[in-house]
Amino acid sequence: MGHRIGLQIAAVWVLCCTLQFSGQGQTPRDTGITVIHAGRLFDSERGLFVTNRDIVIKNNRVDAVGEDLAVPTGAREIDLRGLSILPGLIDVHVHLLYLEDVVKGSFSEGVNAVVKEGTPLRALHGAARARTFLSAGITTVRDLGNSGQFGDIALRDAINDGSLDGPRMLVSGPGLSPEGGQFPGLQQKHKAIAEEEYRIVRGPEDAALAVRENVIYGANLIKIYSNNTPNRAYLSLAEMQSIVEEAKMLGVKVAAHATNNAAVWRAAQAGVSSIEHGYQVEDSTLSLMKQRGVVFVPTDVDSATISALMERAPAEEKPPEGWIQQYLNRSRNRLQRALKAGVTIAAGSDMYVKTGRTQGEAAKRVLFAYADAGMPPLQILQAATWNAAELLGAKNRLGVIKAGAFADIIAVDGNPDLDIHAIEKVRFVMKDGTIYVGKK
């Protein structure tokens, strides 16, 4: 144990030194008044771009937005008229403390994260990944478990107190799961490995207790596994109803991992706020989600990313010819059916695998997957701003540029309303009134 602690202390020291000597330590918080001159500004509430707007920022909030606003005495002026201005993007499904190599496989990588890497080192790795989300223009994330025992809360708090640069984080703590978590083939005598990564639920009363534990220890929301794929178990409807009831009592929302139709239906019946994945959801279940106001988070993969991942997969695990296109067609059809049903879409990447890109840039490509499915660019931008903020319970505070909102603002080259790929060209990032990219 002492040797392990020594390694973790050394890891902290190396990371701190690396940040210090690379000039990438924490960015001092900006104060005072800033005026941004915008040529094109995305009105996320209405889903359209408006022109010639000035944005007045005082400390960490937007004070005013309008045409030809007076510049307060002593204000710093930033001219972004040649760029497209958007609210900071929001990714509502991330795992900053977990990154998997497809060559090694999910089981061995999951065990390695728990048994070898450990929560302190995972949090340090998460800190480095957090910076890449901010650089990509993603200023807020919802982190949904796979963070050991509350490592996500430690990372969130370090970002909040200014020790680290990263996106604003809303975190779930350990996900509430049926027996075995997401460790297929785990021997019963080693079930403690799953219990280190997940909060295993055993009955409705224990489910309510699990909610209380997570909230008391700092969670902003609850993540559940309606089904715990690749394992075959389900939470019972009674367990999920108990979770939702307790979460409502404590003022937090519930996000449900649900991959097949039965898992989605049962979670929606239980009253969760969002469905994550929903790969095999049927039209009748989408109608239920619409009726109950359940938000859908399609964690889709664009064609370029999935092709790159399959190239890296071991030969014995490569899918048969034509599988990639069939997978993409199913995902796109499912998203089209959700849009037709009128279900609210919030953007979430679930990007936990190594792709050769930074994790932040790779996560942003979920928006290209939506475009591949035929979702219009303006709706995609709303899914990553206005809709996502509503799901987070932060309507009018995040995902929008208006008076009273947090000053989370990005600028990109080009016109993302015409070509969503313009969001790859981030030239300016402000979070909470502080500039992280494009500071002069």
Handedness of CA 342, 344, 348, 350 (dihedral sign): negative
Is the pLDDT reported for residue 116 higher than 60?
A: yes
What average pLDDT does the segment 324-349 reach? 97
pLDDT of residue 440: 66
Residue 12 confidence (pLDDT) above 80: no
The pTM of this model reads 0.93
- What are the pLDDT digits (tens) for 50-72? 999 999 999 999 999 999 999 99
Helix 237-250 and helix 204-216, axial crossing angle in degrees, nearest 10: 30
% of the chain at pLDDT higher than 70: 94
pLDDT tens per residue, range 199-224: 999 999 999 999 999 999 999 999 99
What CATH superfamily is the domain 33-87+401-437? Urease, subunit C, domain 1 (2.30.40.10)
CA distance 408 to 86: 9
pLDDT at 188 over 80: yes
Is the alpha carbon torsion for 102, 103, 106, 111 positive or negative?
Answer: negative
Q: Which residues contact 390 (CB under 8 A, 6 or more apart)?
A: 295, 344, 346, 399
Output the pLDDT for position 18. 42
More confident residue, 17 or 435: 435
| DSSP codes joined into one string, 8-72 | HHHHHHHHHHHHHHTT-SPPPPP-SEEEEEEEEEEETTTTEEEEEEEEEEETTEEEEEESSPPPP
Strands 48-58 vs 33-43: parallel, antiparallel or unpaired = antiparallel
CB 194 within 8 A of CB 180: yes
Residue 6 has pLDDT above 80, yes or no: no
Architecture of the 89-364 domain:
Alpha-Beta Barrel (3.20)
Maximum CA pair distance of the chain? 69
Q: What is the pLDDT of residues 117-167, one digit of tens each?
A: 999 999 999 999 999 999 999 999 999 999 999 999 999 999 999 999 999
Kindly report which listed range (3-7, 214-218, 250-254, 266-270) carries the lowest average pLDDT score: 3-7
DSSP letters along 109-136, please? HHHIIIIIIHHHHHHHHHHHHHHHHHHT
Task: Please state the domain extents for the chain.
Answer: 33-87+401-437, 89-364
Distance CA 405, CA 396 (A): 6
Confidence of residue 14 (pLDDT cuts 50, 70, 90): very low
